[in-house]
Chain A
């Protein structure tokens, strides 16, 4: 979207193996809880706003930085901006939030925060991402929603 890329040469990481579907996964009788891997699968293919790469490939999202508590209906996602001054950080956080809001049952409380120590203005970014009123207002902005939709749409 920018003429000039902020992070010209981001470090690349491999993708993890596809999840192996077990017999229980396909059995409709078995109630299976959400786990970190499932949350990860929902967000790993979100596209970076700048690069033709996914958040998984850039290590912006990682399975180890996701916590799920099914009893308390909590999902906690920490994400790591590629550089400490990344100006796209709020947009990336918002894309993760939107994807999870759309995909998860409404009983879940979703926290999306910057991985501590990885961004110069993480407190301000976290406060904005946690403010549901500002998130709701942002999601009424058609231009912003179309940018987010481009990020969350899975490319074939």
Chain B
């Protein structure tokens, strides 16, 4: 068993903290929540220090924040139906664009690996793909495949492939299909029996982990046409297959999951106040993998845990956000 040690608690937000996002390059963190403010923390003198508060960008709850891969921009998704783009100008951030179009609450926002594409999703059941060039943002696609509220969007780590999770219990995969030059849903992942709250690709991008209100985690494997195990791929399109379900570990809704690209560890944020860490076993078969829980930190927050994110810079470092209005910084060690 490993240990998750609490390094620091950041108690600046008022009300529920919905999300945290690590800067891709610096030891820097952004958080957001019910108080309609974004807070920026920088690592200085051995701990995280609040440097800036971004207020007045949104008129309602800020549900999610996401850094661009270059670290120059921060996108924020709000219940006010807009997405704000903040540009880092040295010691201040300026709101350089506001993206409008969703009919109601925006639930999630994420940048593609190159930083040229941005995805957002909303309670209006749609997923939008935005193209970004020279600080201009243009809507490239409105994808209305989901039957319900879309909770999360996440890009593939090194391809322009997008995954979305929904209240309709499914996950959908979207790609820019070159033959028709149009964004299309290329796969629907059905197996969860309630809302899929979040998802995360592994480092290779050929595997996904999803978490749900049904209290399970699921691992999905992508199979390309003519794959060796002989998984059928109708119409010569890659298929995603549920190869592992982790049930019996979580006692309430799992609100977030993050698959660390450096260590391969999976962290979960649960409504039972616990942060759990899972690791794939050494002799695991890729077509039938085995994962074991390596730590469970009860009362990681004094209320629901809403988000967990592994640091992209510092392997083992984890940030979490909770309904107890706190952001916690942890370190996992074996």
**B-contacting residues of A (Cβ < 8 Å)?**
106-107, 109, 127, 130-134, 136-137, 140
Given contacts A106-B303, A136-B16, 18 further A-B contacts (CB under 8 A): A107-B303, A109-B252, A109-B271, A109-B272, A127-B167, A127-B194, A127-B195, A127-B213, A130-B213, A130-B253, A133-B107, A136-B34, A136-B79, A137-B61, A137-B79, A137-B105, A140-B60, A140-B61
Give the docked Cα–Cα distance between A134 and B60 (Å): 13
The verdict on A106 contacting B324 (CB below 8 Å), with A127-B194, A131-B195, A136-B16 known, is: yes
Give the docked Cα–Cα distance between A106 and B272 (Å): 13
Instruction: Produce 1/0 per residue, B94-111, CB < 8 A to A.
Output: 000000000011010000
Nearest Cβ on chain A to B27's Cβ, whole angstroms:
30
A-B contacts, 21 listed (Cβ < 8 Å) = A106-B302, A106-B324, A107-B302, A107-B303, A109-B252, A109-B272, A127-B167, A127-B194, A130-B213, A131-B195, A131-B213, A133-B107, A133-B151, A134-B149, A136-B16, A136-B34, A136-B61, A136-B79, A137-B61, A137-B105, A140-B79
Give the docked Cα–Cα distance between A133 and B123 (Å): 10
- A134 near B123 with CB under 8 A, answer yes
| Closest residue of A by beta carbon distance from B169 | A127
In the bound complex, residues from chain B placing their C-beta under 8 Å from that of A134 are 123, 149
| Closest residue of A by beta carbon distance from B213 | A130
In the bound complex, residues from chain A placing their C-beta under 8 Å from that of B213 are 127, 130-131
Nearest Cβ on chain A to B21's Cβ, whole angstroms:
18
- Interface of A, secondary structure class, is helix
Contacts between the two chains (Cβ within 8 Å), count: 36
In the bound complex, residues from chain B placing their C-beta under 8 Å from that of A140 are 60-61, 79
In the bound complex, residues from chain A placing their C-beta under 8 Å from that of B253 are 130
In the bound complex, residues from chain B placing their C-beta under 8 Å from that of A133 are 63, 107, 151
In the bound complex, residues from chain A placing their C-beta under 8 Å from that of B323 are 106
Give the docked Cα–Cα distance between A132 and B104 (Å): 16
B304 on the A face (CB < 8 A) = yes
Give the docked Cα–Cα distance between A107 and B60 (Å): 25
- A131 near B302 with CB under 8 A, answer no
Nearest Cβ on chain B to A132's Cβ, whole angstroms:
7
In the bound complex, residues from chain A placing their C-beta under 8 Å from that of B167 are 127, 131
Nearest Cβ on chain A to B299's Cβ, whole angstroms:
10
Give the docked Cα–Cα distance between A140 and B35 (Å): 12
Give the docked Cα–Cα distance between A43 and B83 (Å): 38
In the bound complex, residues from chain A placing their C-beta under 8 Å from that of B60 are 140
In the bound complex, residues from chain A placing their C-beta under 8 Å from that of B194 are 127
Nearest Cβ on chain B to A75's Cβ, whole angstroms:
13
Within 8 A of A (CB), among B126-150: 149
In the bound complex, residues from chain A placing their C-beta under 8 Å from that of B63 are 133
In the bound complex, residues from chain A placing their C-beta under 8 Å from that of B107 are 133
Give the docked Cα–Cα distance between A137 and B167 (Å): 15
Nearest Cβ on chain A to B64's Cβ, whole angstroms:
11
Within 8 A of A (CB), among B75-133: 79, 104-105, 107, 123
In the bound complex, residues from chain A placing their C-beta under 8 Å from that of B252 are 109
In the bound complex, residues from chain A placing their C-beta under 8 Å from that of B272 are 109
Within 8 A of A (CB), among B149-168: 149, 151, 167
Give the docked Cα–Cα distance between A133 and B151 (Å): 9
